[in-house]
Amino acid sequence: MATVEDILLPDIGDFSDVEVIEILVAPGDRIEVEQSILSLESDKATIEIPSPKSGVVEELKITLGDRVSQGDLLMTLRTDAAARAPAAPAAREPSAPADRQAPPSDAPTAASAPPRAPSRPASTSAADRFETISVVLPDIGDFSDIPVIEVLVAPGEQVEIDQSLLTLESDKATMEIPSPHAGIVEEVTVKIGDTLNQGDLILTLRSPVREAASVTGTAGAEPLDVDGPFSAEETDATAGPAATAKPDASAGAPARAPGEAERRPAPVLPRPQDMAAIAKGRKPHASPAVRRFARELGVDLTFVKGSGPKGRALKDDVQNFVKQALTRGTPAPATALPFALPAAPEIDFAKFGAIETSELPRIKKLSGRHLHRCWISVPHVTQFDEADITALDAFRREQKAAAEASGVKLTLLPFVLKAVATALERMPILKASLSHDGEQLITKHYTHIGVAVETPNGLLVPVVRDVDRKGIHSLARELAELSEKARNGKLLPGDMQGGCFSISSLGSLGGTAFTPIVNAPEVAILGLSRASIKPVWNGEEFEPRLMLPLSLSYDHRVVDGADGARFTALLASLLGDLRRLLL
C-alpha cells in the first residue's frame, strides 16, 4: 500500500536560511535512498541533500532561490509499503502483467532482493521477460553541448516509437528528440539545463524481449564497433536481446536476477571523443563564494585556469582573467575576439519613465553573438545595384494561376534563387570559404543556398540544397515547406547546414537598400528590397520599369570589389531576361 511521507531538510550543521540553487528531481520522478534531490549553497560550501527514502516524488514544496533551514518541508514522497517488505514482491509477481505500474516498480525491488533470481528462468517465457535498452542522443548534425530545455517523459511512462522524449535548443533551432524504441521509461538520466552531445545517454527503457531473442549463436551477439548512435541502437535492438537470452537458454547457465539487466546499461555508451568534448566544457573546482563572484562579473569559469590545489579556481584567478580580457582580449576560448570591446555602460532607464523588462529569446541571444562575431571579424563591403524585372514579373503573374492549381505559391524568390545559382556557377568565388586559419581557399562544387526566415523567436536560415538542379516549382514548394518548419520550430539541424551563399529578402516589408551581414564561413550574402516602378531611359525615351534593388555584402578577403560588381551585374542581367538562364 502506498503512503505519502513528508521529506524534511535534515541537520546540515550550523547553517540556516541556505539558498536552493538547484532542484534535481521533479514530480513523478522515482528516486532511491541517498539519491540527491536538491543542491544548497552557503557562503562556504555547496551541499547536495540526499533522499532518506525511496519512492515517487508527489509534490515539490520549494523552488529555486528559496531559503531553507533544518526541518523545512522539501517535498512529499509517495512510498510503496511493499517495497519495504521483501516477501511482498514475490507474492504479487503473478499479477504484475495486469498492473501497468508493475514494470517500473519491479526494477528497484528486484535489484535489492537477490533471493528472487532463481525464480526467473522457470517462471517466465521469452514474451514475459524484459530487457533494458539505453537510449542515446542520435546524430543531430554538427552541434555539441546543446542544452536540454524540456524533458517530456518521466519514469514509469509508456512511450512509443518516434514519441518525443526531450527538447533541445541550439543557437539555430529547437529540436525534439524522438524515441527509437517502445517501452516503459525506467530512468531519465538528463534534466533541464544539462548539455548533451551525440552518443550521450538520455534514458533507459524497459521493453519486452521479442520472440527473436530466443535465437542464439548469431553473429549479432558480438559487440560491434559502430560509427554512430543510430547503428549502435540497431545493434542494441538485435544483438542485445540475443545476448541476454543466451545464458537463459543454456542448461547449465547460472540464473540472473531480474534486476541485473536493469542495473547494467546496454552497451551503447558515449564515445571517447564525446566524453572528451564533455570534459572540455566542465568548469574547474571553485568555492560558492568564487562562483558567485564570477557570476557577478559575468565570467564563465570554463575559461578560467585555476591556480589553487587540484586546479581549484580562486578569486585572484577570476580577477586576473578579467584584467587580461580588458587589456588584450580573452585568450582562453579559440573563438575569442583578438581585441576587447569597451563595455557598454549600465543605464537605469526607470528614472526616465515606466519600463518593462523581458528575457531575450535564447535563439536571439545566440544568433546575435554569431552575427556580432561575423560583423567584427569579416571585412564587409556592400555592392548596390538594380535589376529590371518587368518581364520576369509579368511572366510570374501569367504562371501564377497554373502554379496554384498544382499547389504551389509562385513568388519572386524562387526565380531569384535560380538566377543566383546560375551566377554562382559562373563565378564560384562567391560560394567559396576560407579555411579556419585563413590560409587556404575552399572551393565548393555544390550550390546550397540559405534563405533567412523571420520567426517569433528570432532569425533562422534554412538551406535549400542543389538549387542549380531544381525547377522553379520545386524550389517554390521547398521554400514554403522550410519556412513553415522554421516558424513552427520544427527545423532539424541538417536543414540549416551546408549553405554556401545566403539571401535575405525584405521586399515585402519595404526599403530601398540595406547592408546584410555575411553569414560566415560563407563569403557573400544577397539582400533584396522592395521592387518599385521607376523611369528608365531606353535610348530614346523614359519608360516605366519594375526595378528590384540588390544589396550584395561580401568578405573582402576573398571577393574583390571588381568581382562583387561583376556578380551583381550578371545577376541583374539574368533576372532581366530569363532566357539567359538557359545559356
- 435: helix, coil or strand? coil
420 in Cβ contact with 486 (< 8 Å): no
23 in Cβ contact with 123 (< 8 Å): no
Distance CA 72, CA 74 (A): 6
Of the CA atoms within 13 Å of residue 135, those in its CB half-sphere come to 29
Angle at 200 between CA 153 and CA 176, to 5 degrees: 45
Length of the chain: 583
282 in Cβ contact with 255 (< 8 Å): no
Q: Which three cell numbers stand for residue 526?
A: 544577397
Active site residue 556: yes
Pairing between strand 158-159 and 2-8?
unpaired
Torsions phi, psi for 208 (to 5 deg): -60, 140
Distance of CA 209 to the CA centre of its chain: 32
> Which residue, among 167, 169, 188, 170, has the nearest Cα to 178 in the 3D structure?
167
572 in Cβ contact with 386 (< 8 Å): yes
User: How many helices (DSSP H) and strands (DSSP E) are in the chain?
Assistant: 13, 27
- Give 312's DSSP letter: -
Q: Let me know if 221 is exposed, middle or buried by CB neighbors in 10 A (0-12, 13-18, 19+).
A: middle
Distance CA 29, CA 77 (A): 10
Helix runs in 96-159, H state only: 102-111, 119-123
Distance CA 77, CA 93 (A): 24
| Cα separation values, 455 from 73, 134, 255, 490, Å | 43, 35, 57, 11
**537: amino acid identity, one letter:** W
Active-site hit among 285, 370, 380, 556: 556
Dihedral of the alpha carbons of 279, 283, 287, 291, in degrees to the nearest 10: -160
Angle at 310 between CA 307 and CA 315, to 5 degrees: 35
Spatial neighbors of 536 by CB under 8 A, at least 6 apart, are 388, 542, 543, 544, 545, 547
Helix runs in 301-429, H state only: 315-328, 362-377, 390-405, 413-426
- Could you list the active site residues? 556
